[in-house]
Structure formats: C-alpha cells, structure tokens
Chain A
Amino acid sequence: MNRHPGKQRASRILRATDSGQARMTINNMKNVIIKENETLVLPILWTGEESEISYEVLLSGQGASVAILGLLLGKDDAALQIKINVTHAAKNTKSEVILKGALTDAAKVNFEGLVKINHGATGTNAWLAAHLLLLSDKSKGRAIPSLEILENDIKAGHATTVGRINDIEMFYLMSRGLSREQAKQFVVQGFLASILEKFPREFQQKAKKNVRLS
C-alpha cells in the first residue's frame, strides 16, 4: 500500500539525450535498475541523431517507480528503432511509458515496448502508450506495445494511435484566419504539449525549442 511514500523517496532524473552517458550507440541496450521507493524520470528527446535507443528497466524493490517520456521528432530520412522493456519484479511498483512522435518527410519510427509484470508483483500499476502523428505521406510508424502479465492483483493498460493530423482541429484554426502551415504547427504543438508538461523543467526549455523548429 506504500504507493506514495513521500519524503523517504529518493528521486533522480536520468537524462537520456542531453548528456554523454546516455548517447546511444547501435546495439547498446541500457540497463537501469530501480530500487525500493526510488523514482526515476527518464525523458527522451529524439531529433533524428540516434538510430537506436533501448532501455531495459527493472523495478526491483517495493514502491519503485519509473516514468519514461519520449518526445520523438523526425524529419528527412531519420529513422529510429526504439525499444523499451520494463519488468515489474516487486510489489506496488509503477511504470509509465509514454511516447509521442511527430514525423515529417520520410522519417520512420519503430517502437517495441514490453511491460512484464512478474508473479507476486501485486499492486502494480503499468501504463504503456505510443502516439505517432504522421505529417507526410512518406513517413512511417510502427508500434508494438506488448504486455506480459503473470499477476492478477494489478492494473495495466496500453494504448496506441498512429495517424494523421486532426481535420476538425485544422479546420477550426484555419477558419480563424490561420494559414494551413500555422494551423499545423499549433495542432502539432498541442499534440506534443501533454508530454512536454511532464518533462523535468530544465529539460522542457530545450525540448520546446526543438518542437518549434520542426
């Protein structure tokens, strides 16, 4: 029941792409172990440099919690293979994996996510989501958000959407006098805003700059 242990909880933020330690090289699966009552926030900002990002996260102690937040911006012929595996091995652990991507030109994203809840990891709460917005007819998105659940006293869910920009939102903005390009910018920013808000503050600024550029 100790899902909100408050003060005792040690919190750390691991930066995925703004520090040398986390620059991914091909075939490099990064292992992260989260211990009792530890919380880890893992923001990922992809703007086309890496071709592969992978994380293997183990929630090993009671009350361990992880949030993996991915903001993926692809243009030209950028291609990303992103793999995230989360294993819940202890009670009352929590994981939240949310990826949001906007792809233009011939950009490609291939996401493979797997959340595994081991037998005995009761009270677990897991959410796995991937939302990809395709902004050009050459962009491609593939998402495989998998769940393996061996315990029944848990909550788990996943969601995926892959698709185009919302026509109704575009129409609304354009009827207010915005050009198609401007409207598109707004809709994309709106789409990405929900994940930006969850980013740690110092990381937000950097990410916002990139969103505007795309």
Chain B
Amino acid sequence: MKPQPIIKDSYKYGFHKPESAVFKTPKGINREIVEAISYHKNEPDWMREFRLKSLAIFEAKTMPTWGADLSGINFADMYYYVSPTDRKVRSWNEVPKDIKDTYDRIGIPQAEQRFLAGVGAQYDSEVIYHNLKKQWEDQGVIFTDTDTALKKYPEIMKEYFGTVIPPEDNKFAALNSAVWSGGSFVYVPKGVQVTIPLQAYFRINAANMGQFERTLIIAEEGSFVHYVEGCTAPIYTTDSLHAAVVEIVVKKGARVRYTTIQNWSDNVYNLVTKRMFVEEEGVGEWIDGNIGSKVTMKYPSVYLKGKGAKGEVLSLAFAGKGQYQDAGGKAFHLAPYTTSTITSKSVSVAGGRTSYRGMVFVNRGSKGSKSFVRCDALLLDDLSRSDTYPTNTVNEEDVTLGHEASVSKIGEAQLFYLMSRGLSEAQASSLIVNGFIEPIVKEIPLEYAVELNRLIELSMEGSVG
C-alpha cells in the first residue's frame, strides 16, 4: 500500500509560506484565547496582565445603549487573532464586483488594488518606504508597528500604553485592549519636525490592516508630526468588526495632526476610540473622514490638559444606502485659556443615516477658554436621515462657547443654475456635495482629496433623480 502523504500539497489552496508557523486562535473570546495571543506574541508579563484585566472589563461592561444598533455583532463568532503572515489570502475572483469597479473608477493602480482587496499579501511600495524610513531614523523618529515597538521600546510602551484610553473607558476599548494586534507606533523626539506625513499605508505589513489595531503616538516637546491612516479606496474585508484604539500624547508646544479616511466595505461595524492628550501650548488636530462601513461610531476627542492648549476636530461623514455614520468629536477643556473647534459636515443619501454626536466640556477653573462647534448636514432625499446630538457643559463663568448647526437639502437654485449650464442632475449634485465638504477636503493630503472627490461623484450616480 502506498503511504499517505502526511503533509498534503497545499498548492491548490493558493499562497503558501512554509517557513511561518500557522497560528490562529479558535473562534470566540475567553481567558485561554487572550493568554494564547499574548504567549504567541511572546509578550512581557505586564502586557499579558493588562490584556487579562481588560478582558474582565470587557466581559463586565454592557453594550452602549445609545447610537447605532449593534445587535448584529456576535462576539462568539469571531476570530480574535490570526498572525499576520497567515492571513488568508483570498483570490481576486472572491472580491465583489462593485469594489473592483470602484477601484477602477477612482484610479487605483493594480498592485494597490490587490493589496486593498486582501488579495496581495504585500503592497509594493517597499522602496519608497525604505527611503523615507532612513530620513526619519536620522532624526530619531520611531515609526513602526505596535507589536515591534513592544519588543524594541518596552520603556516607552510601558510608560504610555493604555494611559490615554484605559480599558475601563468603554466596552470596545476594553475588547481592543484584550486582543489588540498591529497598529502604528510613532515617537517624535523633542523639537523634531517631521515634514513628510507618516502614512500607515507605507508600513507594509498585513498587521496594519488588523481588526483590533492599536496606535500610539508620542510627540515630545516642540515637535510636529502629521500621521495619515487609511485611504479613500474601499477596503474589502470579511471581518465584521473593526475596533481600534488610537492614543496620542502631545507634549508642551508640540503639534500632532492625525488624518483618517475610513472606507471599509459595507459589512463592517467600525467602532473606534480615539483620544489625544494635549499639554501646555500644544496643538492636537483630528481630521476624520467616514465614508465606508455599515455602522461607524467614532468620536475623536481632545483633552486639553495644559494652559493654552488647542484642539481641532474636522469630521466628515457620508452615509449611503444601508449605512449609519455616527460620528462627531469631543473637546474637554481642563486648563485655562484652552481653545477648541469642532467642524462637522455630513451627507446622507439613498436612505443613509448620519449623526453628529459631540461633546464640549469646560471644567471649573478653565478660565478664558473658547470653543466653537459647527455642524452642517446635507440631506439629499426623503429616505435619508440626519441627526445632531450635541452636549455642551460649562462649569466655568469665563468661557465662550458657541454651537451652530444647520440641516438642508440641495438648493433648487444651485441645481438649476448648474443644470442650465448643461450638467446632468447627478453631476450637478455631486458638484454641490463636493463644494459642501470642501472645508474638510482641503485639509487632507492632495492624493486623498482627489480620490475622495471621485468617490463622492461615484456614490452620487444613480442615487439622485
């Protein structure tokens, strides 16, 4: 009898890497799984303890009772960790047609398309990345993934990790703290100005696309960095939950700008906690664009902890068919002479729902603080919905706080004007929408802005008229 081969030829299943051990935790979440993740990553004890503590908090916390309906999330039916090299590489044929069409329409190169769709294991920009990397390293800037940072820079990690967003913050922050993997780690030394934006995009490893990524950015005194996460092209994933945590520490006189454009495919629950601590005279800026996902709940916040600190949130939400974008921003004034600005622009079309949920809190003693919140919503048809839930709390007399909001449809006069110049209704509408979101788009890097405009044009087609 012919002996049966012990290891079958796995060629027909696609891409195979013999040198890496396959590691994937079983479905569901419990103590053993969290311990297994930590063991597999060979983490120090304090991190294992942190994960286990977070798991207990996750189990004790209830789901949020407000906002979107999250009953579709089944925590037991999910994989919490797949080591990056073993991420299932799917075939191009499995990628839905509408996603492929979108790539073509917004002009994404083929190699990049494959990466975004989870087909290619690596995105071919290694050369660019390495050149930039050298430049950063010469300045002493650390830009790596969070797992590597834990091994190479344990002191910095231990000092800051989980201090901006403790696991007790909310259920999803606790979940992330228990099972986190991947994400970016950025450390900018005192006085260093990083002129080229750091893009997560360049950091070529699949971990970057993780479900439970954990990002930590520390900008020392007087430094500046602009970090760009995500991209305008739709990211296709079969994972149904994306629960990231982003922690940023802005030291005295430093400035950090964090730009995200999120365009997950429409099966994803995107529940992200983002927070920045801004010390004396520091500046913290969030530019947050939400275009994709089924449900997004994300409220980037600035904690203005030092005198004269400044925070800014620019939020853009676009909800199409079946989407619910619950986005906004929060500013906590905890020191005198702090200022914050929150600008939100939302567009709802074809039955989509956008909500602005915001919070401005001025603590007693934060004298001379100023805050201004402006949210504008555009409703394109009578199937869509737009909500505004702003909370303004002031416990100090010497404060200026203003909030304004408007909800409108596309003006007949504007539409008529453009159409009388020969544009179709869809073209005219997308032009008006692009004009509406312009104040936010002009703040994001050019290549993203171009893609974003094309994407909006694309989403508007067939949804108007």
* Docked-complex contact B390 and A144, CB < 8 angstroms: yes
Number of B residues with CB within 8 Å of any CB on chain A: 32
In the bound complex, CA of A40 to CA of B395 (Å):
34
Q: Which of A46-54, A67-75, A132-140, A182-190 contacts B (4 or more CB under 8 A)?
A: A132-140
Q: Give the shortest distance, in Å, between B352 (CB) and chain A (any CB).
A: 12
* Chain A contacts for B403, CB-based, 8 A: 143, 145, 158-161
Closest to A145 in B: B390
User: Chain B interface secondary structure, helix, strand, loop or mixed?
Assistant: strand
* Docked-complex contact B406 and A157, CB < 8 angstroms: yes
Q: Which of B148-156, B213-221, B248-256, B381-389 contacts A (4 or more CB under 8 A)?
A: B381-389
In the bound complex, CA of A120 to CA of B397 (Å):
43
Closest to A136 in B: B397
* Docked-complex contact A157 and B390, CB < 8 angstroms: no
In the bound complex, CA of A134 to CA of B381 (Å):
41
Task: Tell me whether A119 is interfacial, beta carbon within 8 Å.
Answer: yes
**Known: A132-B394, A153-B382, A159-B405. Is A164-B399 also a contact (CB below 8 A)?**
yes
Q: Give the shortest distance, in Å, between A158 (CB) and chain B (any CB).
A: 5
* Docked-complex contact B408 and A161, CB < 8 angstroms: no
* Chain B contacts for A141, CB-based, 8 A: 392-394
* Docked-complex contact A160 and B392, CB < 8 angstroms: yes
Task: Tell me whether B91 is interfacial, beta carbon within 8 Å.
Answer: no
In the bound complex, CA of A150 to CA of B352 (Å):
10
* Chain B contacts for A162, CB-based, 8 A: 392, 394, 399, 401
**Known: A140-B394, A142-B393. Is A160-B401 also a contact (CB below 8 A)?**
yes
* Docked-complex contact B379 and A152, CB < 8 angstroms: yes
* Docked-complex contact A163 and B385, CB < 8 angstroms: no
Task: Tell me whether A210 is interfacial, beta carbon within 8 Å.
Answer: no
Q: Give the shortest distance, in Å, between B368 (CB) and chain A (any CB).
A: 10
Closest to A112 in B: B391
Closest to B369 in A: A163
In the bound complex, CA of A120 to CA of B393 (Å):
34
**Known: A142-B393, A143-B392, A144-B391. Is A161-B382 also a contact (CB below 8 A)?**
no
In the bound complex, CA of A57 to CA of B401 (Å):
28
* Docked-complex contact A161 and B399, CB < 8 angstroms: no
Q: How large is the interface on A (under 10, 10 to 19, 20 to 34, 35 or more residues)?
A: 35 or more
* Chain B contacts for A145, CB-based, 8 A: 388, 390, 403
Within 8 A of A (CB), among B387-422: 387-409
* Chain A contacts for B386, CB-based, 8 A: 147, 149
A119, A143, A155: the one contacting B382 at CB < 8 Å is: A119
Task: Tell me whether B55 is interfacial, beta carbon within 8 Å.
Answer: no
* Chain B contacts for A134, CB-based, 8 A: 394, 396-397, 399
User: Chain A interface secondary structure, helix, strand, loop or mixed?
Assistant: strand
In the bound complex, CA of A118 to CA of B401 (Å):
30
Q: Give the shortest distance, in Å, between B195 (CB) and chain A (any CB).
A: 38
In the bound complex, CA of A140 to CA of B401 (Å):
13
Closest to B393 in A: A142
* Chain B contacts for A160, CB-based, 8 A: 390, 392, 401-404
Task: Tell me whether A148 is interfacial, beta carbon within 8 Å.
Answer: yes
In the bound complex, CA of A173 to CA of B409 (Å):
43
* Chain A contacts for B389, CB-based, 8 A: 144, 146
Closest to B403 in A: A160
* Docked-complex contact B407 and A149, CB < 8 angstroms: yes
Q: Give the shortest distance, in Å, between B366 (CB) and chain A (any CB).
A: 11
Task: Tell me whether A34 is interfacial, beta carbon within 8 Å.
Answer: no
In the bound complex, CA of A143 to CA of B371 (Å):
14
* Chain A contacts for B391, CB-based, 8 A: 142-144
In the bound complex, CA of A122 to CA of B381 (Å):
12
Task: Tell me whether B186 is interfacial, beta carbon within 8 Å.
Answer: no
Q: Give the shortest distance, in Å, between A189 (CB) and chain B (any CB).
A: 19
Within 8 A of B (CB), among A34-82: none
Closest to A103 in B: B397
* Docked-complex contact A137 and B364, CB < 8 angstroms: yes
* Chain A contacts for B397, CB-based, 8 A: 134-137, 139, 164
* Docked-complex contact B382 and A151, CB < 8 angstroms: yes
* Chain B contacts for A137, CB-based, 8 A: 364, 396-398
In the bound complex, CA of A142 to CA of B362 (Å):
10
Within 8 A of A (CB), among B120-150: none
Name, among B381, B390, B397, the residue most crowded by chain A CB atoms within 10 Å (CB to CB). B397
* Docked-complex contact B387 and A155, CB < 8 angstroms: no
**Known: A153-B382, A158-B388. Is A147-B394 also a contact (CB below 8 A)?**
no
In the bound complex, CA of A146 to CA of B389 (Å):
4
**Known: A140-B394, A142-B393, A147-B388. Is A157-B382 also a contact (CB below 8 A)?**
no
A138, A144, A152, A159: the one contacting B404 at CB < 8 Å is: A159
Task: Tell me whether B380 is interfacial, beta carbon within 8 Å.
Answer: yes
Q: Give the shortest distance, in Å, between A8 (CB) and chain B (any CB).
A: 28
* Chain A contacts for B407, CB-based, 8 A: 147, 149, 154-157
Q: Give the shortest distance, in Å, between B347 (CB) and chain A (any CB).
A: 11
**Known: A163-B400, A164-B397. Is A146-B409 also a contact (CB below 8 A)?**
no
Task: Tell me whether B377 is interfacial, beta carbon within 8 Å.
Answer: yes
* Chain B contacts for A148, CB-based, 8 A: 385, 387
In the bound complex, CA of A152 to CA of B411 (Å):
11
**Known: A144-B389, A144-B391, A146-B388. Is A152-B381 also a contact (CB below 8 A)?**
yes
* Chain A contacts for B396, CB-based, 8 A: 134, 137
In the bound complex, CA of A145 to CA of B357 (Å):
11
Chain B, residues 408-447, CB within 8 Å of chain A (1/0): the string is 1100000000000000000000000000000000000000
The 5 closest A-B pairs by CB, nearest first: A152-B379, A160-B403, A162-B394, A152-B409, A147-B388
8 contacts between A and B (CB under 8 A): A132-B394, A134-B396, A146-B387, A147-B386, A154-B407, A161-B400, A162-B399, A163-B401
Residues of A in contact with B (beta carbons under 8 Å apart): 119-120, 122, 132, 134-164
Given contacts A154-B407, A157-B405, 15 further A-B contacts (CB under 8 A): A120-B382, A134-B394, A134-B399, A144-B391, A146-B388, A147-B405, A149-B387, A149-B407, A151-B379, A155-B407, A156-B407, A157-B404, A157-B406, A160-B404, A164-B398
